[in-house]
Amino acid sequence: MPAHDYAPHMPIAPMLRDIPALPTPDHADLERRVADLEERARKQDREAIARDRLKAMGLVLPARS
């Protein structure tokens, strides 16, 4: 049913059947993505700790952008 044929009193469910389903990523792919994000967070934490230690010693490094 074309969108211009829609009227507020008409049910929307028949139109929703025409929308293709989004592909769902497999479980292994999701686990890899989570592991990658966790590793990035650990790396950023290590860099922040190192920056704080250098700052405490009076050395200041420019912040990464």
Q: How confident is the model at residue 9 (pLDDT cuts 50, 70, 90)?
A: low
Contact 47, 64 (CB under 8 A): yes
* pLDDT tens digits, one per residue of 11-38: 666 767 777 777 777 888 888 999 999 9
Contact 42, 35 (CB under 8 A): no
Q: Full-prediction pTM beyond 0.85?
A: no
Query: What distance in Å separates the CA atoms of residue 50 and residue 44, rounded to the nearest whole number?
Result: 10
**Residue 35, token pair as written in the block:** 């592991």
Termini Cα distance of the chain: 50
